[in-house]
Structure 1
Amino acid sequence: MTVAPTLPIPTPAEDTTPRPGSRAARMLMPRSVDVVKELAADYGVCTRPVSLRRTDLDTGQTVVIDLPCGATQETKCKACATRARKLRQQQIREGWHRDDEPDPGPQPATDAQRALIVLRAHLEFDRAALMSAHMDPETRAEQVAAVDVAIAEVEKEITAEGLRGRPAPPHATADDDQDQGDGDRRVRSTKRRQDVPDLPRLPVENRTIGRTYAAPDGKIFRPSMFLTLTLDSYGRVWDDGTPVDPDSYDYRRAAWDAVHFPRLLDRFWQNLRRAVGWKVQYAGAVEPQRRLAPHAHFAIRGTIPRELVRRVAAATYHQVWWPSVDQRVYEPEQAPEWDEDAVGYTDPTTGRLLPTWDDALDLLDADPDAQPVHVVRFGRQIDAKGVLAGSKDADRCVWYITKYLTKQAADCHTTATDRQRAHLDRLWHELRYTPCSERCANWLLYGVQPKKTRAGLKPGNCKNKVHKRDTLGLGGRRVLISRDWSGKTLADHRADRREWVKALLGVTTDLDHTDDQAAADGQPSASRHAWEMARPTDPDVPPLGHRLLRAVSERIQWRNQLDYARRAGPPHATGASANERTATTREEPQP
């Protein structure tokens, strides 16, 4: 008997849609609080504002005003971090392709200013005469103190008259004279190393503008440069930045290079200015590569031959003259202990007092064959190219310089695999126990007491930023801008943008009216408002959600007013340059 084969019965497709009203269905719904924060970030509203209470001294009326927190990291406040990054972009754009000197120099001194300096000179002469005169010490001290009081009064008048700085440093007291011995700097030979090429050294002209080039049609160009400086290799790496052979990867040299990278950059700009013979101006940022080693991107005003830039980079180095760190004497678990009687750290086994920092440097100075403990150099990969003002490359370079400014160094590149996490852990472990300065607690591991040692030091727990996991050894400033780049500070650029918006909308502030009325009355301006901090628990401070919703609505209305005024025509006032005005609306180029 033949049995017919049975066919499989098709089963209906499983429905994965959560049941309406279930917890799974509710978890798929976006939270309104998160939407509020997203809208706040989109419209530039600070999500963690600082509340201030303003009191009108005439009427007694109080109002709570929220000020932006001013954070520069988007993990804290995305709106404030984005605003800070755009301000840096404006600063870079304004100073990059200038064709005039941003700092014309101070005005000549007035007769009143010169007279005050002469009076200060006479007081200095009288003080020196008292110090060298043969008289009773108590009498001399009284007369010198009287002269010091007169000097202080004159210097106040000098500042009020409009002169910057002090005409001379303040006189040291007896206690200061005693403490100066602790700050003596050791002088070492400045002879260049024999393994680096020599560089030309020209007298540095007092100019910051590069040369111009004429095209065959008579058009004049003044190009600038975009420069990338990179450290040397520590071993082969994959495309994700992880080492091919972690055991042979030089993590120690990578950590030391990261800690001393800022000084290497300072030495590079010093050498470059001496080689080209004029005050090269730069604006850039330091960020980690995918392999987690720092490198820097710079916008340079003017052009320099690429071969000369590469020569300067190859000849630039920084030597670290510290005690030897070839081998650890102690481990973190058995670090030296503080001895109250000896006022220093001692060996945990023998109780022997460790050599002080000055003793260790004395041994280093006495050795004629001593070598620096570390030498930082750039790698061979130096990228330099010319950029024209107003081109797409210029906007792209500005975006490229500032793309990671709102992130921590360790968050610039995604760490998604176990291999990347292991690479980060190895580098951070090396940075944690790398000495960062003369006062670092990690010197105890090498049998040396840090400079100005004190109780409570623990190796691996130094408070310096270079030892933190999220900095990757970048403990200094991430943004590096030369003094004569734009001739303005960030506060000046912020004020320019504010004045342009006020001129475009045709609005004024209470402070403007107060200053104008005071000037009309011939009196100094004074605010009629008193300010104080407002706590979130104060009864007149609304909940944060209410304040954010109100701020989002207010920001939307402001933006609509600004767009309408921009379509109506350009502002009549010129509080900000055209470059600054376009920077407020220019879209960021995509990578």
Structure 2
Amino acid sequence: MLAPDGAPVDVDLAYTLAANEGVCVRPLLRKVTDRATGDVRTVPIRCGSTRESVCPPCATKARRVRMQQCREGWHLTEDPPLPERGFGEEPGGHEVEEGPGEVEQSQCERRVRSTRRRQDAPGLPRVPMEDRTTGQAFTAPDGTCYRPSMFITWTLPSYGKVIPGTGIPADPARYDYRRAALDALHFPKLVDRLWQNLRRCAGFKVQYFSAVEAQRRLAPHLHAAIRGAIPRKTIRQVTKATYFQLWWPAFDEIRYQGDRLPVWDREAGGYCDPETGHPLTTFRDALDELDDDPDARPAHVVRFGQQTDVKGLIGGSKDSERAVGYLCKYLTKSVADTYADPATSGLTEDQHTAYEAHIGRLHEQVLWLPCTPECANWLRYGIQPDAAGPGLTPGMCPAPHHDRENLGIGGRRVLVSRQWSGKTLTEHRADRAAVVRQALEAAGIDAPEADRCAADVLDDDGLPRFVWEDVPVDQRDYPAVILASVREHRAWKAQYEQAKTIAVQRESPPQLACGQSFGKGEGDRP
């Protein structure tokens, strides 16, 4: 029960109540002034976090939107339009094709290194390209038409023996943590190459919805829903032939650490040796030396492991729906927390302690290895980061790759091709809100205005009617705001349940998006 108005409310109680009701537990507070009426009120805005540890309701809502996005694009029978990409939208698929050799481009400048394919990698066949994104249809002897799609999981190779069912290295001293960390840091680049190669060899514009997750051993792997069927032989061949070469200066020898670190020279505009005062080699000069060396080798090569799981699925089947849930299962958890919870991991107390130590050893490597040309960790190896400035300290790079919760996977966890569903993620969110609004309007219930308090609503003088301001810290009363949000959520939920009852009585239930309701953690405010 809600506390009476004016009564003191415990913060923890308000948090628990909001989480149970599906209301954001850490909303951003803004003060909105209506210039037409003079009314001033505090408006909570969902934090929009995708992490359950930060805000369970917002993370659950984000995961359900992703599940809807996955369903809508998986088994299409016609090519969807190419969505217009607006500000803040995910870039989606990769349409870049490689030339006769590989094209390696550093992030610091438009530097291109063209080489032939590695001799230890199988070749990639070329097939005629068809201008389609859907899979082929097959007709059974009974006349039934099938258009199968696929669910594929790609993994990285082994870095050492692990105890079965635990993910814990059998011998931590022989486990290759450095290679595991580098593979995780550059896994997205390997995935980019995979889609390029798969499209080239499949013969059509392969569309995908994929999620990067961590295996129990903490190595990232890729789950992918793919529209259309590709021969398993082709998938195996592409997997073996796909690799990514990292053409960076060598970073095997640590030259500076502890209290002995390079110092910033303001006059020289760069970092220098703390004892001799000699400037460190810049990242670009180091790349020039690499280009001039005919015997140069890549600093690291990333490949997929031998284990690749391929399943064929039919749209609308129970297996397909289970795959959607499995694909999005861990999107609300950080990489390190996926299997680290002792309550759900199934590990004994000693095994859990060993697993935490495994996470710590991997994080130690991720923390100190360079993640980009601009990373401060380059100073450890006697190289100035690209575009270096004062204040850089090894081990203090702000990139999320180095965080313990990410363990090298610092980019987007969900990768979606641009012609997957023909909609942006924002449009998918709007679809869910529109379903609720339509149900309310069909039942004769007034739905809240979609643009209420919007900054682009103008007053009679042509200026914005609503003025938005940040709420000063000393005026923020989160428990009161959260309780008000809970009351509003309950009212909307009751209206929505009433609308559904009326629709059933009329024998015309509203067509909800698959799995959508206005229950705990699932509501979409119109």
TM interval, shorter chain, is 0.7 to 0.9
Counterpart CA distance in 2 for 1:306 and 1:587 is: 41
Q: Identity percentage over the alignment?
A: 48
Matched, 1:294 2:220: yes
Distance of aligned partners of 1:565 and 1:315 in 2 relative to their CA distance in 1, 3 Å threshold: farther
Higher relative contact order (CA 8 A, sep 6+): 2
Matched, 1:102 2:37: no
Question: Deviation per CA, 1:246-291, whole angstroms, max 9, x where unpaired?
Answer: 1111011001000000010010000000101111000011111111
Matched, 1:197 2:122: yes
Q: How far 1:559 sits from its partner (Å)?
A: 4.6
Matched, 1:393 2:331: no
Question: Deviation per CA, 1:302-354, whole angstroms, max 9, x where unpaired?
Answer: 11011111110110000001111232223243222222343322223333222
Match of 1:449? 384
Question: Deviation per CA, 1:50-79, whole angstroms, max 9, x where unpaired?
Answer: 334444444333444333221111122111
- Normalized per residue, the structure richer in helix is 1
Match of 2:187? 261
Counterpart CA distance in 2 for 1:80 and 1:287 is: 20
Q: How far 1:552 sits from its partner (Å)?
A: 5.0
Matched, 1:235 2:213: no
Distance of aligned partners of 1:468 and 1:512 in 2 relative to their CA distance in 1, 3 Å threshold: closer
Q: How far 1:510 sits from its partner (Å)?
A: 4.0
Matched, 1:581 2:513: yes
Match of 2:93? none
Counterpart CA distance in 1 for 2:263 and 2:502 is: 69
Counterpart CA distance in 2 for 1:249 and 1:187 is: 34
SS of the counterpart of 2:332?
coil
**Pick aligned residue for 1:409 from 335, 339, 345:** 335
* 1:70 alignment partner AA: G
Written as runs of structure 1 = structure 2, the 5 A alignment for 1:332-481 is 332-414=258-340, 416=342, 417-481=352-416
Counterpart CA distance in 2 for 1:302 and 1:560 is: 38
Counterpart CA distance in 2 for 1:97 and 1:491 is: 21
Q: How far 1:203 sits from its partner (Å)?
A: 4.2
SS of the counterpart of 1:226?
strand
Q: How far 1:514 sits from its partner (Å)?
A: 12
Counterpart CA distance in 1 for 2:302 and 2:169 is: 21
Distance of aligned partners of 1:407 and 1:542 in 2 relative to their CA distance in 1, 3 Å threshold: closer
Match of 1:50? 28
Match of 2:132? 207
SS of the counterpart of 2:398?
coil
Cα-Cα RMSD: 3.0
Distance of aligned partners of 1:183 and 1:319 in 2 relative to their CA distance in 1, 3 Å threshold: closer
Question: Deviation per CA, 1:399-422, whole angstroms, max 9, x where unpaired?
Answer: 111111111111111254221111
Q: How far 1:361 sits from its partner (Å)?
A: 1.5
* 2:514 alignment partner AA: T
Matched, 1:303 2:229: yes
Matched, 1:81 2:59: yes
Matched, 1:499 2:424: no
Match of 1:69? 47
> TM-score, normalising length from structure 1?
0.74
Extract unaligned runs of 5+ from structure 1.
1-30, 107-181
Q: How far 1:387 sits from its partner (Å)?
A: 0.8
Query: Contact between 1:514 and 1:527, CA under 8 Å: does it hold in 2?
Result: no
Match of 1:216? 141
Distance of aligned partners of 1:249 and 1:532 in 2 relative to their CA distance in 1, 3 Å threshold: same
* 1:434 alignment partner AA: L
Distance of aligned partners of 1:451 and 1:425 in 2 relative to their CA distance in 1, 3 Å threshold: same
Q: How far 1:49 sits from its partner (Å)?
A: 2.2
Query: Contact between 2:14 and 2:479, CA under 8 Å: does it hold in 1?
Result: no
Distance of aligned partners of 1:561 and 1:296 in 2 relative to their CA distance in 1, 3 Å threshold: same
SS of the counterpart of 1:286?
strand
* 2:112 alignment partner AA: V
Match of 2:6? none
Question: Deviation per CA, 1:502-531, whole angstroms, max 9, x where unpaired?
Answer: 11111444468999xx9xxxx9x9975444
* 1:384 alignment partner AA: V
Extract unaligned runs of 5+ from structure 2.
1-8, 85-106, 343-351, 521-526
Query: Contact between 2:83 and 2:418, CA under 8 Å: does it hold in 1?
Result: no
- The 4+ residue runs of structure 1 with deviation greater than 6 A are 512-515, 539-542, 570-573
SS of the counterpart of 1:333?
coil
Counterpart CA distance in 2 for 1:538 and 1:359 is: 53
Query: Contact between 2:25 and 2:482, CA under 8 Å: does it hold in 1?
Result: no
Counterpart CA distance in 2 for 1:512 and 1:354 is: 55
Counterpart CA distance in 1 for 2:253 and 2:294 is: 21
Counterpart CA distance in 1 for 2:184 and 2:208 is: 21
Q: How far 1:360 sits from its partner (Å)?
A: 1.3
SS of the counterpart of 2:61?
helix
Query: Contact between 2:63 and 2:332, CA under 8 Å: does it hold in 1?
Result: yes
Written as runs of structure 1 = structure 2, the 5 A alignment for 1:136-285 is 184-238=109-163, 239-285=165-211
Query: Contact between 2:282 and 2:386, CA under 8 Å: does it hold in 1?
Result: yes
Query: Contact between 1:428 and 1:467, CA under 8 Å: does it hold in 2?
Result: yes
Count how many residue pairs are aligned between Structure 1 and Structure 2.
Answer: 471
Distance of aligned partners of 1:35 and 1:546 in 2 relative to their CA distance in 1, 3 Å threshold: closer
Matched, 1:483 2:418: yes
Query: Relative to structure 2, which stretch is displaced further, 259-268 or 486-495?
Result: 486-495
SS of the counterpart of 1:390?
coil
Query: Contact between 1:332 and 1:445, CA under 8 Å: does it hold in 2?
Result: no
Structure showing greater Rg: 1
Counterpart CA distance in 1 for 2:373 and 2:162 is: 33
Q: How far 1:377 sits from its partner (Å)?
A: 0.3
* 1:51 alignment partner AA: L
Q: How far 1:463 sits from its partner (Å)?
A: 0.9
> TM-score, normalising length from structure 2?
0.82
* 2:513 alignment partner AA: R
* 1:564 alignment partner AA: T
SS of the counterpart of 1:189?
strand
